[in-house]
Structure formats: structure tokens, C-alpha cells
Amino acid sequence: MSILRITNLQIDVRTQGGPRAVVDGIDLTLERGRIHGLAGESGSGKTVTALAILGLLPESMTTSGSVVLDTNDVDTELLGAPRQVLAGIRGRRIAMVFQDPSTSLHPQLSVGRQLTDHMRHHLKLGKRDARDRARALLERVRVPDPTSALKKFPHQFSGGQRQRIAIAVALACEPDVLLADEPTTALDVTVQAGILQLLRELVDDAGLSVLLVTHDLGVMSAVADEVAVMRAGVIVESAPRQQLFTDPQHAYTRSLLAALPGSKLEESPEALVAELLNATRTEAIE
Ligand SMILES: Nc1ncnc2c1ncn2[C@@H]1O[C@H](COP(=O)(O)OP(=O)(O)OP(=O)(O)O)[C@@H](O)[C@H]1O
């Protein structure tokens, strides 16, 4: 069942020489309970695609096409939607996590405050209910000792734990869609695996739909159900993970795969996943 439908999305940036297309007519449908990977080299348009969904593009960019959120059979067009419509959707229906968790977390607010403010605002929860839910969320993303974690500040946690907290904040209002832009790129490989495993669990347990933006096909191969490969603003190939990794159709996809460091991928994507998940156990001791 689809939750977000992107149709013929075009993003132009104004330049002195006239408009330049940074995304040139892409189609992408996100399904509930699936992880959709958006891969491609730096500058191919992955991040601006994610930002366009939430109306967060810089002023210098214009859009056309359609981005429809379909919740409970009600379609909402997001492209060009009024500010208050987008404000009601951001964080509530569609949440976002970034490469650097500090971007999503406020350095001077306690973790508890960041989690509960969000819930009190969007879900109108009372103080005590919000606090109970915040504790449960930290438990769910496996931040150790949630009760004392609520009183701490972001800098008191490791990078991996900070990203888990950022994911907890993103999930606070039970969004339908999570946009994750390079969520593990800044983390070392064992911590990456733990975060990827967490995303997988959240998708499987809660029916969340994830758009996972990354230049790293290794990360993709570990968790994505479907992968779209982007180059210079265009999706050149889109296929279920297994198919894309074992039978790439486009020369650009083949070149990306060939550039992967001699990994288990040559044996099978599953072997790489097993390797990454094995590393997760190491992180649990972190
Ligand atoms: N604020 C901006 N003003 C003008 N051009 C921009 C701006 N942000 C991005 N661009 C341009 O838009 C294009 C797409 O950038 P985007 O950040 O989406 O790429 P990406 O695939 O996410 O790459 P990366 O992995 O490096 O983030 C690039 O050509 C980039 O130069």
C-alpha cells in the first residue's frame, strides 16, 4: 500500500545563467512497511528530493510535479502546500533524520525535553504521559538507562547513541514516513550496523515507510527493500534490492557496484547483511 507518491518531480535552482535542473522529472512511490533506498553519487539530487517532500528547499529553488501523502485514504498534495499544512505534517506524519544528529537535536535542551515538547505539541499529551512515552521510546531505540538519559544533554552521549536519540525524537509522534538522509555516514561501521538494524526493526514492527538516502551502496544492500539509483537529477534504475545487486541493468549502477570495496557483496547481499548484523552485537556493548 503506497503512502507517498512522487510524480514527475522537477527541482530547478535559479542561477545567473537561468534556471538549472537539479532534479529532472523523477517518479518514486513509497510503500508502507518498506525501506526505499535512494542511491547515487554526490550532487545527484538525493538530498534536495528529500527536502522537497517537506517543503524545506532553499528559496533559490522552485519545484513542479506532485508529491502526494496518502494517509487513511486522504490524499494531501505537499508540493506548494500552504505553510500551516506542511507544519502539521512535518514531524507528525513525515519525520526526518540527518547525517549529523546534532542537526536534529538541540544542544541546550535535555533529551527528555526534546522528546516531550514534540509530543505535547503534536499529540497534545499531558506532562506525565509524554514523559512515560519518552522513556518507552528511548527503550525502544535501545538507549541504555532511559530514566537517567532523559535528564542528560546530547553532548553526553556517543555519536551512535545521539543518532538513536535523534531517531527517537523523529518517531515521537508515530510518523508514517521517515526520511533518513545519510543517517549512518558519520558513524563507524559497527555503530552503523546497529542503526540500520534498528531502522529495519521499526519498519517491520511499526509499518513505517523509510526513504533512505545514501551514496553508500553497502548500506543500501544491508537494509533497503527497493533501491532507486539517481544520477544527475534522474533515476536511472529502480529495482528490488536483490535484483539490483545481482542483475544491474544500467551501466552507471554497474560502475557503482564495481566501486564497492571487496566486500561480501560478491558472495551475496545476505552475507553482507549477516556481517553487518553480527557487528550490531558489538555495538550493544558500546
Ligand atoms: N542551497 C543550494 N543552492 C544551490 N544549489 C544547490 C543547493 N543545494 C544543493 N544544490 C545543488 O543541487 C544539486 C543536488 O544536490 P544534492 O545535495 O541534492 O545532492 P546529493 O545527491 O544529496 O549529494 P550529497 O550526497 O553530496 O549530499 C547539486 O548540483 C548541488 O550543487
**CA 44 to ligand 1: nearest atom:** 21
What is the full DSSP assignment across 185-213?
TTS-HHHHHHHHHHHHHHHHHH--EEEEE
Phi, psi torsion values for 133, nearest 5 degrees:
-70, -35
Which tens digit of pLDDT belongs to each residue from 86-105? 999 998 999 999 888 877 88
pLDDT of residue 197: 85
pTM of the model: 0.89
**ipTM score here?**
0.93
Which tens digit of pLDDT belongs to each residue from 25-34? 999 999 999 9
Q: How far is ligand 1, taken at its centre, from the CA of residue 75, in Å? A: 29
Q: Which three cell numbers stand for residue 78?
A: 505537499
Q: How far is ligand 1, taken at its centre, from the CA of residue 48, in Å? A: 6
pLDDT of residue 278: 52
Q: How far is ligand 1, taken at its centre, from the CA of residue 231, in Å? A: 12
**CA 45 to ligand 1: nearest atom:** 18
Q: What is the pLDDT along the chain (286 residues), one digit of tens a residue?
A: 899 999 999 999 999 999 999 999 999 999 999 999 999 988 999 999 999 999 999 999 999 999 999 988 899 999 999 999 999 999 899 999 988 887 788 999 999 999 998 888 888 899 999 999 999 999 988 899 999 999 999 999 998 899 899 999 998 888 999 999 988 887 777 778 888 888 888 899 888 999 999 888 888 888 899 999 999 999 999 999 989 988 999 999 988 888 776 554 555 555 555 555 454 444 433 4
**CA 11 to ligand 1: nearest atom:** 12
pLDDT of residue 268: 53
Cα–Cα dist 104/121, whole Å: 17
pLDDT of residue 191: 78
Please give the domain boundaries of the chain with CATH numbers for all domains.
2-93+175-284 (3.40.50.300), 100-174 (no CATH)
Amino acid residing at 101: P
Q: How far is ligand 1, taken at its centre, from the CA of residue 182, in Å? A: 14
